[in-house]
A and B are shown apart, each in its own frame.
Chain A
Amino acid sequence: GESVGLHLPTLSVQEGDNSIINCAYSNSASDYFIWYKQESGKGPQFIIDIRSNMDKRQGQRVTVLLNKTVKHLSLQIAATQPGDSAVYFCVSGGSQGNLIFGKGTKLSVKP
């Protein structure tokens, strides 16, 4: 079946450094990808999205890169702050119209 997987379940970075969270997806027909952030005790919060006709999209301190050739997605966070500590999920729009979540990467920011 379709799947979305993150390369690392945990990532620890120093405050001020850049963070990169990677994700792989299996369905070549997926045409919409989203990154969510989930803080402890809260629901997922939208960070940034990208459609398959793009390979890069930038937001405030975040950049998403999409490589359709190898079915790889990444989230880059510039100048990581303690408030960025959370679990990050990559999500792909499945071929059936549903959303498929990856298992999440827990980002810890060291002061």
Chain B
Amino acid sequence: EAQVTQNPRYLITVTGKKLTVTCSQNMNHEYMSWYRQDPGLGLRQIYYSMNVEVTDKGDVPEGYKVSRKEKRNFPLILESPSPNQTSLYFCASSRAAFTDTQYFGPGTRLTVL
């Protein structure tokens, strides 16, 4: 089954404790992206990747890191989480860049205390 998976689905952590949210897709997609969704603000793009070893900042990259060492995986790293990073995070992938349908993962709800 073609899908985008994220782990964990739910995470409660404390300020400053490094964490990684994993994202994996099994569709051989080149383009992958991370979004955060906050009430009243819709989805905002954090980082995106056009292909392996190619990553770019989206609208709200501050406080986040990503890596794309393999095509299928695109982890989101929070080196020192802060409460303003409490949000619902979605990973997405597509065959090509923004000119193609993006498939979204189920979401990761992160709470930073």
Chain B associates with chain A:
yes
Q: Which of A31, A45, A102, A103 has a CB less than 8 Å from the CB of B104?
A: A45
Are the CB atoms of B101 and A99 closer together than 8 Å? no
A89 to B35, CA, bound (A): 14
A98 to B107, CA, bound (A): 20
A42 to B107, CA, bound (A): 7
Are the CB atoms of B98 and A43 closer together than 8 Å? no
Q: How far, in Å, is B21 (CB) from chain A's closest CB?
A: 14
Are the CB atoms of B56 and A34 closer together than 8 Å? no
Are the CB atoms of B40 and A97 closer together than 8 Å? no
> Given known contacts A97-B97, A97-B98, is B56 in contact with A46 (CB within 8 Å)?
no
The interface stretch among B11-19, B44-52, B70-78, B79-87 is: B44-52
By a CB distance below 8 angstroms, the chain A residues around B106 are 42-43
Are the CB atoms of A99 and B102 closer together than 8 Å? yes
How many of chain B's residues have a CB under 8 angstroms from any CB in A?
26
1/0 contact trace for B27-50 toward A, CB 8 Å? 000000101000011111100101
A59 to B72, CA, bound (A): 30
Q: Which of A34, A89, A93, A101 has a CB less than 8 Å from the CB of B101?
A: A34
Are the CB atoms of A101 and B99 closer together than 8 Å? no
A81 to B103, CA, bound (A): 24
By a CB distance below 8 angstroms, the chain A residues around B90 are 43-44
1/0 contact trace for A8-41 toward B, CB 8 Å? 0000000000000000000000011010000000
Q: Which residues of A contact B (CB under 8 A)?
A: 1, 31-32, 34, 42-46, 49, 51, 89, 93-94, 96-104
Q: Which residues of B contact A (CB under 8 A)?
A: 4, 33, 35, 40-45, 48, 50, 56, 58-59, 90, 92, 97-99, 101-107
Contacts A31-B99, A45-B104 supplied; 18 other A-B pairs, CB < 8 Å: A32-B98, A43-B92, A43-B106, A43-B107, A44-B104, A46-B101, A46-B102, A46-B103, A89-B42, A93-B98, A97-B97, A98-B45, A98-B56, A98-B98, A100-B59, A101-B35, A101-B42, A101-B43
